Structure 1
Amino acid sequence: MRFTALDSIRGVCAILVCLFHLPVVFFLSDSAFILHSYLFVDFFFVLSGFVICHAYGDGLNLRSVGPFLLRRFGRLWPLHAAILCFLVLLQLGVWVLYQYGLSVGQAPFEGRWDTTALVLDLFFLNSFGLWPDVTWNGPAWSISAELWTYLLFAAVAVFALRRMVWVAIFMSLAALVALAVFSAGTMDVTHDFGVVRCIAGFFAGVCTYRVWQRYFMERSLWPGAEWAATAGAIAFVILAGETVLALGAPFVFSLVVLAFAAEGGTLSRLLSAAPFKAAGRWSYSIYMVHSTIIFMFFNVARLADAKGIAPLIVMVDGERKVDFSLVDASWANDVTMVTYVAVIIAVAAITFRFIEVPARTWFNALARAWSESQQRDAGPGAGISRPAQPLPPVVRAGQ
């Protein structure tokens, strides 16, 4: 089953996260909605739990766990590794600039660009607080968190399938309590408590799927449910911000997923339009490439500022941002924002076509061969309860 509307929403949320990170003073940059759009990462986690449960919640056992995890690794790691390779090349470029006395801020291969941090990123260990800040490709903390959460889900699906809902409720609530106690009551955690944040959202998504499966799979929700869920989510993001209220994100986004899973409303029909569907397909790439594009753009602006070509850098709430109004070109801020989104989408379309799709195909074939080998070794009548199948297109990593 294809959850087209949810897939499209994921694309929209990915773009909103991109705008949240954009260090440019554009016309919406100081709005509460954009300033708090980091919360849409929690939508990714909830949606991931929902769809993973849909695809695998009734079909994992000890034999099928390996192929399942291989598929998930193959969905996340290839693009992640490709971006890290590109960032290493960029750091080599920064090193060359340093040899000519051109500074772009931090020295090459230091701080977040340290080679030890690179190893942590490569092995998905960048969401356990092993480094004092986000490393290399900043958004990758969330896919690290997701991979380890997949492992936890597999354990639940194998050993506690009949009690999955109760275990999922416990894990989600326990994770939220841990965040309330150990992260100063905020949802804005990444490299330090990223896995805990992911567990809270992912297992809320698992519960949401079970509710949908039992009560709403064969029926439509109230016709206005999509509008109400959308309005509620927008209001929540604006009001919750970085307060303790943000801990309610898994519950709010669970309602959004529940409302759009049936795809029976006018918003679902709108989200089935080609541009939204494309954003959904490319959403993982959109999310993963945007930080690299920001790094390249911002350091060009930093060089221009440092060399006196144009004053572009301004401090806003303790953060450096680019503001073209410093050179009487405030219109350029908004043009930059639009261009930034367009470039991200274009690059994401390329990485999806030439990295994500081939890698996913290869890993899926590898996982299928592994499953078939296990069935042959087990002998007739001892196959896996439900053969692992390619995941529906809304499965993300992340997220």
Structure 2
Amino acid sequence: MSPLAATGISAPSSACRHAWEQRQLGEVAEIVGGGTPDSSNANYWGGNIDWYTPSEIGASRTVGTSARKITHEGLDHSSAHLLPAGSILFTSRASIGLMAFISRPSATNQGFQSLIPNASINPDFLYALGPYISRYARRHAAGSTFVEISGGALAKTPMRIPSLPEQRRIGEFFSTLDSLIAAAERQEALLRQKKQAYLQLMFPQEGETEPRLRFAGFSGEWQRRKLRELVSEGSIALKRGEVIPRQTGKYPVYSSSASEDGLFCTSDSFMFDQELVTWSIDGGGKPFYRQHHRFSVTNVCGYALILNPQTLTYRFLGLAMGRAWARAHFDYSSKAHPSVIEKIYILSIPSLPEQRCIGAFFSTLDNLIAAAEKRTKSLHTLKSSYLQRMFV
């Protein structure tokens, strides 16, 4: 079942689409720029009028309050304008094309060309046209010092609009879809926050030998072991991958990237058919726990092999190395070579049964995060698909 079908929302059908009129953005909305009051005049700042900057836009569909506020005197003595509630902020420089509704009368700095919809267009429908308007704005932006889109140029954005009843139906559809996306993103963010909180509680803090939160039946101090000691005694081995050219095949090849789980390409051959802990040597040192599957790693990727399974589990080792990595600092000039991390990483290690309990707990949490991330991506893909079908 698709994410949309699971909600019971009916999607618009192309079969009921009537002729749409060709218009320009300036015909359906007033386009209003912004301004900044004199920053040296204290009488202009600290009032009750929201005053937005582009950095505050893009995280949500609607904004409710700004970081800084101006006074009515500041508004009157600048080129800022008071926009009515329901206006759509539109960033016109730096990150061109970020949009958000305002929930109450507000002003902006000069990095905006905001839209005040008139009676001929439904505000939710206009907001749904955002990706198309943004593409046009980026293509027609100009400037020598910095690139921006002027109000006059933005007003010429061509668009096709249907009747108001059809606009309302389309606007409601995308508004509901945006609400689903926002809820999914909040759920994903909450799960990630919970994971970080549990990592703090279920591992000893710096200078401590016991965690503050434990499973029932476990007690006593954890061992503090240098990674080098574990290598020297033969408990683990730290190695690096092989030079692998970019190719296409059946099995994943992981490299130094911290995004997309470190995926580099795919190959018809594989180096491993097991659990493993890998990390990026060139890309900042971030560790990854790899569940049991067939895969390879490139030469800019390190990996840890557990040689004594009575000492460590892979899932716990990945978590412990992640904790040590968070206290270190690696970048593209300071690389996380095996010979480097074995000298500086110190791991706190409990008994094997407690490792298994901790590993199982975080595996379950990671599965929940992965499911939430998948749902978020599916909803974004669904929205993009409908936007493509309806407006292009």
Per the normalisation by structure 1, the TM-score is 0.19
Higher strand share: 2
Structure with the greater alpha carbon radius of gyration = 2
Higher helix share: 1
Higher relative contact order (CA 8 A, sep 6+): 1
